[in-house]
Amino acid sequence: MKDILEKVRRELKEASDEKTREQGLRYFREEVKLYGIRAKTVSEIAKANYPLIRKAGKDEILAMCDSLWKSDMMEESFVACMWSEKQATAFVPADFSILEKWVHNYVTNWASCDTLCNHTVGDFIQKYPEYIAELKKWARSDNRWVKRASAVSLIIPARKGKFPEDIFEIADILLPDRDDMVQKGYGWMLKEASKPYQKEVFDYVMDHKAVMPRTALRYAIEKMPPDMRAAAMSK
C-alpha cells in the first residue's frame, strides 16, 4: 500500500500548478500547505486510485488515510476524506477514535474540516447517533476547528430532518462564540435544519437574536422567506 500512496503523491505533484497554489494561499487566512491543484483534479486522482485499495479492507484504508492526513498537505487530506467516506457502511463504534484524532490533530482549516465532517463524520453519526454526545464535547473545545466540526458534522443529518434537539443544543453551546469560523459553522447547521424545521429554527433565531452574532444569524436565515429574514434582521 505504500507504493499506492507514493503513486498518489506523485500524481498530485505532477498535477500541481504554481499559479493555482498562490491563488489558494490567498484564499485562506490561516497558513495552509498546498500543492496547487484544482478540486476536480484532486477528486479524479482519488477516484482513479481507489480501485487499487478497495479490497484492502477498512482498517488498512483508514491507516492509509491517516498517512495522508499526517502529510499536512491539503490536497492529501481531501484524498483521505474521499477514501474514508467510502468506508462508512463498514464503520464500527471503535472507528470514532480515528475520526476524532483527525479532527483534533490534523484539521487546520475550514476546507479540510468541512470535507471530513460533512460526510465521513456525518455518516458515522447517522450510523451511531449516540456519538452526538461526543460532538457536544467538541463544541466546548478550545480549538476553533473542533468547535466548527461539532456543527458541520450535522449538516447532512440536519438537511434530512434528523436530530433537531441535538442541533439546537449544539447551537446553544456555540452561540456566544466570537470566532467567525465557528459562527459560520453553526449558522450553516441551522440553515440546513431550517429546510425541514423552518418554524422551529425561525423561533430559535428570534429567541436568541439579541445575543446571536450577526454572522451566524445571517447564515441561519439564508433560505427563509423574505418576511422571516426581515423580522430576524430587525433591531
> Are residues 125 and 219 both part of a single domain?
yes
pLDDT of residue 46: 97
> Are residues 103 and 127 both part of a single domain?
yes
Last residue within a domain, chosen from 74, 90, 106 = 90
Identity of the amino acid at 52: L
Last residue within a domain, chosen from 90, 118, 148 = 90
> Which residue intervals of the chain are DSSP H helices?
2-15, 18-27, 39-49, 58-70, 74-85, 96-105, 110-115, 122-127, 132-138, 144-152, 155-159, 164-174, 180-193, 198-208, 214-221, 226-233
> Are residues 15 and 56 both part of a single domain?
yes
> Are residues 43 and 149 both part of a single domain?
no
pLDDT of residue 235: 77
The CATH number covering residue 137 comes to 1.25.10.90
> Are residues 83 and 100 both part of a single domain?
no
Determine which helix (DSSP H) or strand (DSSP E) holds 37, and give its type and residue range: none
pLDDT of residue 101: 98
As a whole number of angstroms, the distance between CA 148 and CA 139 comes to: 7
Ramachandran region of residue 123, left (φ > 0), alpha (ψ -120 to 50) or beta? alpha
> Are residues 61 and 117 both part of a single domain?
no
As a whole number of angstroms, the distance between CA 171 and CA 187 comes to: 8
- Using CA atoms, how far residue 57 sits from 45, 96, 105, in Å, is 20, 17, 24
Supply 80's cell numbers: 483521505
Last residue within a domain, chosen from 90, 105, 134 = 90
Q: Which structural domain range is residue 184 located in?
A: 91-235
> Are residues 130 and 72 both part of a single domain?
no
As a whole number of angstroms, the distance between CA 224 and CA 227 comes to: 8
Looking up cell 483534533 gives 104
> Are residues 197 and 118 both part of a single domain?
yes
> Are residues 13 and 121 both part of a single domain?
no
pLDDT of residue 3: 93
Local structure of 128: helix, strand or coil: coil
> Are residues 86 and 115 both part of a single domain?
no
The tally of domains found in the chain comes to 2
Stretches in the chain below the pLDDT threshold 50: none
> Are residues 202 and 123 both part of a single domain?
yes
> Are residues 122 and 209 both part of a single domain?
yes
pTM across the whole model? 0.94
As a whole number of angstroms, the distance between CA 135 and CA 70 comes to: 23
